[in-house]
Amino acid sequence: MNLRIPGPTPCPPEVLQALSRPMINHRGPEFATLLARCTEHLQPAFQTSADIMILTSSGTGAMEAAVTNTLSPGDEVLGISIGYFGERFCDIAAAYGATVHRYTVAHGLAADPEQVGRLLREHPSVKAVLVTHNETSTGVTNDLKAIADVVREAGPLLLVDAISSLSSLPIEMDAWGLDLVLSASQKGWMVPPGLAFVGVSPRAWSVMEDARMPRYYFDLRMAKEYATKGQTPATPALSLFFALDVAFDFLEKEGWPGIYDRHRQIGEYTRSGLRNLGLELFADPKHASNTVTTVTLPSGVSEAELLKTLRERYGIVVAGGQGSMAGTMLRIGHLGMVSQSDITALLDALRVELGDRRVSTPAQAARS
Amino acid sequence: MNLRIPGPTPCPPEVLQALSRPMINHRGPEFATLLARCTEHLQPAFQTSADIMILTSSGTGAMEAAVTNTLSPGDEVLGISIGYFGERFCDIAAAYGATVHRYTVAHGLAADPEQVGRLLREHPSVKAVLVTHNETSTGVTNDLKAIADVVREAGPLLLVDAISSLSSLPIEMDAWGLDLVLSASQKGWMVPPGLAFVGVSPRAWSVMEDARMPRYYFDLRMAKEYATKGQTPATPALSLFFALDVAFDFLEKEGWPGIYDRHRQIGEYTRSGLRNLGLELFADPKHASNTVTTVTLPSGVSEAELLKTLRERYGIVVAGGQGSMAGTMLRIGHLGMVSQSDITALLDALRVELGDRRVSTPAQAARS
């Protein structure tokens, strides 16, 4: 199966094989070494010397951790939403009692850093800015460095959902002054879902003392306390740690600059291939993501039917629209273990299927 | 390695192998079937026809879900604590703003159902009772049915941490009137850690409408909404679902009555073997757990050193004391994939090591 959704991503066979290792004591010396080693290997991808906490949860759990560990009920936050996952970040903050000022950008566009600056001047009490680096629902990558420059000057914390960018797109946690940076195992890391990573700046640690939103499972200070003993507060998903440990071999052999280059190239290849089929790209070309590409479906094409045909006839799995965009698009993942031939196979299939449909006879159109 | 801790437990090779399956679309038809099938196979172990939600987290996440989905800040709860995990349940409720009346039982003893009744009469506003079915820190199993009888008569909700009992010890969610029942994959299920299971009674669903504790990642109503579409709100730990699916084959082939019998027999075998070595069992014999046995260390024996010797010389991994009991005991897990010979190996090792130490020369004693 050619799994071309924006996560979970395909995993190298050696990574999958590592999942099968027998269980160990999660409070013994072997796990302590494993936890320390994984943390060390995460740091270069985050471009940070700060702590990175590894949580047993989906990426959404890390988003909740970012919010609840740094804020108090009633705190004002600026939520930059360019799609489904931006909304989710805002929703989490609102669920825990933050007053959320939403900067909602039309789907397909990136946030405007200048507008972020204006909104921060308009709401000087904002304690934290929530931003999605790479929005998989729309296939757009925000200009995180420019946004971070504006936020840093204004003063609030910057909480970054980098779940679908980190390990595929360059991000510099320390140099850009990011306070909390989140990722998750099933993206560019080429590991199955179930682990989330939270990079925590020294400033983020210091504000936690006063943050009063309730938290327990996702309490980062508790995670740090246990990490110093080589443990996690609750039982960790050991198999996924085994897999992550092996995935680093592949990531580091290719090297981070090479990985970023490959994602840039494959992003361009995907977009140009789709354009050559006469298809309409959904994302603003200036901010098109190099981990996921979105295509607006030609009118009369059923998303559900096309997904089914691609899966059943070609063994290619892509994603459809999310949230309010359901039914209107294809979302094509090209992050982690992906090569040009994976995309070529999809382009070939789309050429056959959408070509057919565009010149469909009335009988065929009635069937679709 | 003979892994004899109270979870993670050893997994059958076929279960470990299933972890290596390639990733699938978590929003596609294959996962929908898998999710439905796992849920169906969980119900007989819970002895329920109610919904069971599967979360990507440790068991502690399920404890947080139980609390935050049914209660509001300021609500009074009765927390029955017979050890480390009972304290954790109370701590979670307190972290989210509940007023927790703690019924703290001396370590090694079970809760007294009559005392639970008295406390509920003393605190008539209590909305929920939190109880640990099987406390792995002390090796004690509470008389859950008797406690449930008392709670049901008084009226509050009953939230049950059955993490280390369910799938090893009999529990009847519907017949006993339990409202929320929690378990986790790395216990008797013989699956690696990372999935938690929450059985939800109709009464528990109905109180959620009014429960105002904040929640997002662990929002059970959102989980149910997605489950009806064959999905989970956030990306699930797919590999662990693959493993669980295979583990059911083993569990159901042996059958639940047979599994309970085996755990009863192995519990008795472990306790009598330890007694025969002249060792002091920590738990009240009337309530000794059939999934974990605790032994008080003879004076002069270092817990850390004994754990190390067992691991390095015999390839046997057992756990030491937890929380305030650290350094004072061994905790021996015998749940899930365990046979008499696993325990015999441990008893033989203890005979050599503790026998040696008891008649140790002054030079040896000084070294330890």
Taking only the tens place, the pLDDT of each residue in B278-324 is 999 999 999 999 999 999 999 999 999 999 999 999 999 999 999 89
The rounded percent of chain A whose pLDDT value lies above 90 is 96
CB distance B57 to B218 below 8 Å: yes
- Put simply, the answer to whether A214 touches B96 (Cβ < 8 Å) is yes
- Put simply, the answer to whether B236 touches A3 (Cβ < 8 Å) is no
Measured at the CA of B7, the angle between CA B3 and CA B13, to 5 degrees, comes to 60
Gap between the Cα atoms of A320 and A323, Å rounded: 10
Residue B366 has a pLDDT of 52
Rg (CA), chain A: 21
Gap between the Cα atoms of A49 and B277, Å rounded: 51
pLDDT greater than 60 at residue A362: no
pLDDT greater than 70 at residue B87: yes
**With 0-12 CB in 10 A as exposed, 13-18 as middle and 19+ as buried, what is A30?**
middle
Gap between the Cα atoms of A4 and A320, Å rounded: 11
Give kind and range of the element (H or E) at residue A29: helix A29-46
Using a CB-CB distance cutoff of 8 angstroms, which residues of chain B are in contact with residue A215? 95
Q: Give the pLDDT confidence of A77-126 residue by residue, as tens digits.
A: 999 999 999 999 999 999 999 999 999 999 999 999 999 999 999 999 99
- Give residue B326's Cα distance to chain centre: 19
Using a CB-CB distance cutoff of 8 angstroms, which residues of chain A are in contact with residue B193? 26, 56, 235-238
Residue A224 has a pLDDT of 98
Gap between the Cα atoms of A47 and A66, Å rounded: 19
Q: Which residue type, as a one-letter code, is found at position B186?
A: Q
Nearest to B317 among A11, A28, A237 (CB): A28
> Smallest Cα–Cα separation from A235: which of B108, B189, B220, B96?
B189
Q: Give the pLDDT confidence of B131-172 residue by residue, as tens digits.
A: 999 999 999 999 999 999 999 999 999 999 999 999 999 999
How far B43 CA sits from the closest chain A CA (Å)? 24
pLDDT greater than 70 at residue B231: yes
Residues 6+ apart with CB under 8 A from B149: B113, B176
Residues 6+ apart with CB under 8 A from A124: none
Using a CB-CB distance cutoff of 8 angstroms, which residues of chain B are in contact with residue A4? none
How far A14 CA sits from the closest chain B CA (Å)? 9
Using a CB-CB distance cutoff of 8 angstroms, which residues of chain B are in contact with residue A95? 214-216, 219
- Put simply, the answer to whether A23 touches B17 (Cβ < 8 Å) is no
Q: Give the pLDDT confidence of B8-47 residue by residue, as tens digits.
A: 999 999 999 999 999 999 999 999 999 999 999 999 999 9
Measured at the CA of B13, the angle between CA B11 and CA B14, to 5 degrees, comes to 105
How far A149 CA sits from the closest chain B CA (Å)? 30
Can you tell me whether residue A125 is helix, strand or coil? coil
Nearest to A97 among B214, B219, B238 (CB): B214
- Put simply, the answer to whether A96 touches B239 (Cβ < 8 Å) is no
Residue A364 has a pLDDT of 47
- Residue from A11, A15, A17, A23 to probe the interface with B (highest B Cβ count within 10 Å): A23
Instruction: Tell me the average pLDDT across B212-239.
Output: 98
- B-chain residue closest to A89, CA distance: B216
Using a CB-CB distance cutoff of 8 angstroms, which residues of chain A are in contact with residue B28? 311, 317
Gap between the Cα atoms of B68 and B101, Å rounded: 17
CB distance A70 to A159 below 8 Å: yes
Residue A307 has a pLDDT of 97
- Put simply, the answer to whether A22 touches B5 (Cβ < 8 Å) is no
Measured at the CA of B209, the angle between CA B205 and CA B213, to 5 degrees, comes to 100
ipTM score: 0.95
CB distance A181 to A52 below 8 Å: no
Residues 6+ apart with CB under 8 A from A69: A180, A204, A208, A211, A213, A215, A218, A219, A220, A221
- A-chain residue closest to B322, CA distance: A27
Residue B355 has a pLDDT of 83
Look at B358 and B189; give whichever has higher pLDDT: B189
Give CA separation, A247 vs A185, A252, A253, B333, in Å: 10, 9, 10, 32
Using a CB-CB distance cutoff of 8 angstroms, which residues of chain B are in contact with residue A193? 26, 56, 235-238
* Neighbour-count burial for B230-239, b at 16+ CB within 10 Å, e otherwise: bbbbbbbbbb
Residue B244 has a pLDDT of 98
- Put simply, the answer to whether A23 touches B8 (Cβ < 8 Å) is yes
Residues 6+ apart with CB under 8 A from B209: none
Using a CB-CB distance cutoff of 8 angstroms, which residues of chain A are in contact with residue B9? 23
- Token pair recorded at residue B188: 């008797």
- A-chain residue closest to B94, CA distance: A214
- Put simply, the answer to whether A240 touches B235 (Cβ < 8 Å) is no
Residue B356 has a pLDDT of 53
A283-292, A356-365, B33-42, B54-63: segment of lowest average pLDDT: A356-365
Measured at the CA of A67, the angle between CA A291 and CA A195, to 5 degrees, comes to 50
pLDDT greater than 80 at residue A314: yes
Q: Give the pLDDT confidence of B330-342 residue by residue, as tens digits.
A: 999 999 999 999 9
Q: What pLDDT band is residue A355 in, cutting at 50, 70 and 90?
A: confident
pLDDT greater than 70 at residue B175: yes
Q: Give the pLDDT confidence of A37-57 residue by residue, as tens digits.
A: 999 999 999 999 999 999 999
- A-chain residue closest to B217, CA distance: A61
Chains A and B: how many Cβ contacts under 8 Å?
182
Beta-strand ranges (E) seen in chain B are 2-3, 51-56, 76-81, 99-104, 128-132, 134-135, 140-141, 157-161, 180-184, 195-200, 280-281, 292-296, 316-317, 319-320, 329-333
Nearest to A95 among B25, B215, B311 (CB): B215
Residue B145 has a pLDDT of 98
Using a CB-CB distance cutoff of 8 angstroms, which residues of chain B are in contact with residue A56? 56-58, 61, 193-194
Instruction: Tell me the average pLDDT across A316-328.
Output: 94
**Stated pTM of the model:** 0.96
